[in-house]
Amino acid sequence: MKGRLKAPSPALIVSLIALFVALGGTSYAAIQLPKNSVGTKQLKKSAVTGVKIKAGAVTATKIDATGLTVPHAAHATSADSATNAAHATSADSAANAAHATSATTAGSAAPTGAAGGALAGSYPSPGLAPMEAFHLVGAAGEPAFQSGWTNFGGAFSRMGFARDSAGFVHLKGTLSAGTFGGVIFTLPQGYRPAEDLFLPVAAERNAYIYTDGSVEVAQSGTNTTAGFDGLEFQAGG
């Protein structure tokens, strides 16, 4: 009988199986996951978590700041749309920028600096600006008496006018010996009313103050005096 094929030994069979498994695994890995083959389509949603991101890997150039808002920026250097920027250096649209250096459209921003207009001092605690000194009628550089009117004299107040920071004109003075119905003096521009006024004065009389600045008083009885102390009105313009 011719020679028969000799069956392989068990050791050879085990070696061949191990070889095929090793080669098959390497080939499978190489075919399925080649280098640079994983992209956004292969990643599952929310697959990349915070712990998988390398520290310092995300820089300012990788962030799109369009529409980015800061819910709370207590000490932000710049907070364009911060909801609350209590100490922001710049808070263009901060809802609350109590101590913002610049708050263009801040919902609530405590003002700082010098006060103006009807206020004096500085924020946050300004006060009312004081009224100017009275301009005395008949004094140098001031309106002159007309129609024979003069100050009553003695300890009585002298005729004068002054404007406060709120735009009200105050009158004072006790007059005597003039022509009733005639112009007593003429108020300068800035101290005149927007409309003609008919106001009561002391000694049961009425004063007329016109938009052209003329001040008159109507006669009542035989008393020749008239008092303007405490009379005030709002200046026009």
Per-residue pLDDT tens over the stretch 184-205 = 999 999 999 999 999 888 766 7
DSSP-assigned beta bridge partners for residue 168: 234
Q: Which of 234, 222, 231 lies closest to 174, judged by CA?
A: 231
Q: Would you say 143 and 186 are in contact if contact means Cβ atoms under 8 Å apart?
A: yes
Mean pLDDT on 109-119: 67
Average pLDDT (145-162) is 95
213 vs 80, residue with greater confidence: 213
Where do we find the tokens 């990643």? 43
Tell me which of 69-83, 112-126, 133-147, 157-171 is least confident.
Answer: 69-83
Paired tokens of 43: 């990643």
CATH 2.60.40 range(s) for the chain read 135-234
Q: What is the DSSP string of 153-222?
A: -TTSPPPEEEE-TTSEEEEE-EEES--TTS--EEPPTTSSBSS-EEEEEBTTEEEEE-TTSEEEE---SS
User: Does 103 have pLDDT greater than 50?
Assistant: no
Residue 18 has pLDDT above 50, yes or no: yes
More confident residue, 172 or 64: 172
- Which residue type occupies 129? A
pLDDT value, residue 118: 57
pLDDT of 19 above 70: no
High-pLDDT (> 70) share of the chain, %: 57
* Cis amide prior to 124 (ω within 30 degrees): yes
User: For position 233, what pLDDT does the model report?
Assistant: 94
Partners of 232 in the β-ladder: 170
Tens of pLDDT, residue by residue over 208-234, are 999 999 999 887 767 778 889 989 999
Residue with structure tokens 């709002």? 234
Dihedral class, residue 86 (left if φ above 0, else alpha if ψ from -120 to 50, else beta)? alpha
User: For domain 135-234, which CATH number applies: 3.20.20, 2.60.40, 1.10.287, 3.40.50?
Assistant: 2.60.40
> With bands split at pLDDT 50, 70 and 90, how would you rate the model's confidence at 73?
low
Kindly report the backbone phi and psi dihedral angles of residue 29, in degrees, each rounded to the nearest multiple of 5, phi listed first.
-65, -40
